[in-house]
Structure 1
Amino acid sequence: MTIRVLVVDDSSFFRRRVSEILAQDPLLEVIDTAANGREAVEKVKTLRPDVITMDIEMPVMDGISAVREIMKVSPTPVLMFSSLTHEGARATLEALDAGAMDFLPKRFEDIARSKEEAILQLQQRVRAIARRRPRVASPRPASTLSSLPSRTAPVRAPAAAFSRPNAGEPAQPVVAAERRSLPRRSGKSYQLLAIGTSTGGPVALQAVLTRLPANFPHPIVLVQHMPGTFTTAFAARLDGLCQIRVKEAEDGDVLRPGHAYLAPGGRQMMFEGRPGAARLRILDGNDKVNYKPCVDITFASAAKVYGGKVLAVVLTGMGADGRDGARLLKEQGASVWAQDEETCVVYGMPQAVAKAGIATESLPLPLIGEAIVHEMAG
């Protein structure tokens, strides 16, 4: 069964280019195109596509407004195209918050080392998000650990969760099913929380990190597959939403409790020193490594410095980055958790960890933040 795609962009050249690329995949069918957000909203109502590719800057109605409207009238997986600028990053993050599932740079040469690789990435992303339908998340109560003081900003519930529909079922807003019980505390002693993610990660990280209190007792490192111009804006966005402090990691940063350090796009994040007095090293890394930043590299470095005193969490993402690093952490006695399949945008990275027998817990996204606090600060 083919995946039906609606291509939305005000440039006729770009609409044609994207359509031609998608048409090369026998599993993908471009059913129509739209030149602005308003036209896209109307066509979604009548055509019911499986996936939408969406530009951000368009006349009549921009891409962010169109995504919000589409999520109200007919929730559909959306892949955004963005410029690799600071303003483009901020707009893309707004689109993800509005309900879009993923994004790609509009200049395909920015995402791959060859034309063939760029084509394959676009096709893979469209196929991956087509397997999910946006759903409306149920609000969660405040953390059970209310005795821990917080910053003045309130905890914000995640804007969206994802679940798989039955075959042939139209996408309709429903309350996401949630596991209600927290996993039993292991009793381990921790000194670091490490989280790795990719496709779907910006929304997932927001859902997890907004559950952590300001006095969270350990430092946090975050690895999100994302271009360099995006990580600066993403860290600033998270810092404004969370009770903990969030910043883009810099070389020489001293790790502090209650602070999260986001690996800068295009570079690798590692550790040096000893637990309690560790610093971050931000390096260019090897060009042969597929991901910059790479979850495996950061996790492996954490295993060397922190040993078993790490809780590593692998969230939604395409591929298997994080599996090898998580294995090294597990061998040192660290705890490894994975996001469950039903709440992932793409069940790739968590599945790799779970199938390898590395993860001790497989948890739904709405519960992960609270479970982290219960395990590490309870």
Structure 2
Amino acid sequence: MPVRVLIVDDSNFFQSRLKQIIGQHPGLEVVGVASNGQQGVSLARSLKPDVITMDFEMPVMDGVTAVRAIMAERPVPILMFSSLTYEGARITLDALAAGAVDFLPKDFAEVSRNSIVLTQKLHERLLTLAAGAPSSPQPVVKAPEPKRPQDIDFTRQPTPAQLKPRSRPSGAKPSLIVVGASTGGPVALMEVLASLPANYPVPILLVQHMPENFTRAFAERLNKQCAIAVREAVDGDLIKPGLALLAPGGKQMMVDRRGVVKILPDDERVNYKPSLDITFGAAANAYSDRVLGVVLTGMGSDGCKGAGLLKQRGAQIWSQDKDSCVIYGMPMAVARENLTDRVLSLKEIGPALAAEVR
């Protein structure tokens, strides 16, 4: 049975092109087309598609409102098409918080021409999202009041019930934490960082697969909704406790032994920009076994090679478990290579990071 796709978009041109592109794959079938969010909600109810593509700006009902309504009735993977602008990024993040699981930039020039790259990317994304369909609505993370959660006393030893057994033999605490994610990552990172207090004593580097403009909007959202400070990294930044630096979209983020962040405009060694492999590798060279790497939900295997470098230096790797992932790709890759020291659910990761540095 082919994967049944519902298209929700107010542009006749975009509707037509999406139908053509999706129809090129024998494993995909367009079962309906809606011209606004209200029609999308109605067709999602009657057609029960396996996956939905959703525009964000439409008459009658916008995409974010439609996502929220669909996820409340019958959870289904929703792929947003987003403008490449900063405002488009902000709205897309609203849609992801409402329950959409992934997004693609809405580039009319690329859609107009017969782009093999776009065709392959869309086919892969729809098939993967349908295969990892959620059985319940994606959680909307309710973070603490901005900048107001009570600080944790990191000098006090946790009770045995607060800590699970871990493989770090020396008891040494990490000097740097690197967290990476892809599909499902914005919601996952929000949940993890919302668990950390403003006085968190270890610097954090974040790698989320996102295009340019999106990471700036995402960092601003994280900074407003989490107690720990978060911002998009710039070349020459210094890592420091209480600060999480997010790799800028379309670029690579590295760090040296002095704690200086280096932003590279390009790197032909990898397809992802930013890439968790690159940041993990740089952290391994600079901080050796004093790094804690965390691999969250995401498509593909980015981070696996870098995790191998970290393990060679004696560092620790944690990964998100299958049940709490939107897409169990990146965490599965490190688990299959026996690189994971701890497998944790999404809800456990933030508290475990707090306990790890006490």
TM-score by length of 1: 0.86
Amino acid across the alignment from 1:313: V
Counterparts of 1:18 and 1:361, CA distance in 2:
41
Match of 2:217 in 1: 233
Q: Is the 8 A contact 1:154 1:243 kept in 2?
A: no
Describe the shift of the 1:139–1:188 C-alpha distance in structure 2 as closer, same or farther (beyond 3 A): farther
Are 1:327 and 2:308 an aligned pair? yes
What is residue 349 of structure 2 aligned with on the other side?
A: 368
Alpha-carbon deviations, 1:298-323, whole Å to 9, x = none? 10000011000011001111111100
Alignment-mate amino acid for residue 266 of structure 1: G
Shift of 1:154: 8.2
Q: Which of 207, 221, 230 is residue 205 of structure 2 equivalent to?
A: 221
* Alignment CA distance shift 1:2-1:137 (3 Å): closer
SS at match of 1:252: coil
Which whole-Å CA distance do the structure 1 matches of 2:239 and 2:269 have between them? Answer: 28
Are the structure 2 counterparts of residues 10 and 285 from structure 1 closer, same or farther at C-alpha, using a change threshold of 3 Å? same
Deviations 1:175-201 (A, max 9, x none): xxxxx9853254232100101111111
Q: Show the 5 A alignment for 1:280-319.
A: 280-287=261-268, 289-319=270-300
Runs of 4+ in 1 over 3 A off after TM superposition: 108-111, 136-143
* SS of residue paired to 2:95: helix
* Distance in 2, Cα, partners of 1:108 & 1:358: 41
- 1:37-116 aligned at under 5 Å gives the runs 37-107=37-107, 115-116=115-116
Letter of the 1:61 counterpart = M
Q: Which whole-Å deviations, capped at 9, do the CAs of 1:6-50 have from their partners, x for residues lacking one?
A: 000001110111111111111111101000000011111111111
SS of alignment partner, residue 323 of structure 2: helix
> Partner amino acid for 2:265?
D
Deviations 1:98-157 (A, max 9, x none): 11000000117679xx921211111111111112215247899999xxxxxx931589xx
Segments of 5+ residues of structure 2 without an aligned counterpart are 152-160
Could you tell me which of 147, 153, 156 is aligned with 1:151?
A: 147
Q: Matched residue of 2:205: which SS?
A: strand
Number of the residue aligned with 1:11: 11
Taking the aligned partners of 2:6 and 2:306, their CA distance within structure 1 comes to 38
Aligned residue identity for 1:66: A
Native 8 Å contact 2:301 2:330 kept in 1? yes
Secondary structure at the counterpart of residue 320 of structure 1: coil
| Alignment match, 2:252 | 268
Q: Distance in 2 between matches of 1:299 and 1:372?
A: 17
Contact kept? 2:141, 2:187, Cα under 8 Å: no
Aligned residue runs from structure 1 range 112-261, under 5 A: 115-130=115-130, 131-133=132-134, 135-136=136-137, 151-152=147-148, 183-185=164-166, 186=168, 187-261=171-245
Number of residue pairs matched by the alignment: 343
Shift in alpha-carbon separation, 1:137–1:107, aligned structure 2, 3 A: closer
Cα distance in 2, alignment partners of residues 137 and 38 from structure 1: 20
Match for residue 157 of structure 2?
none
Superposed CA RMSD in Å reads 2.4
Amino acid at match of 1:358: L
Percent identical residues: 51
Any stretches of 5+ residues in structure 1 without a counterpart?
144-149, 156-179
Of the structure 1 ranges 322-331 and 133-142, higher mean CA displacement relative to structure 2 is found in 133-142
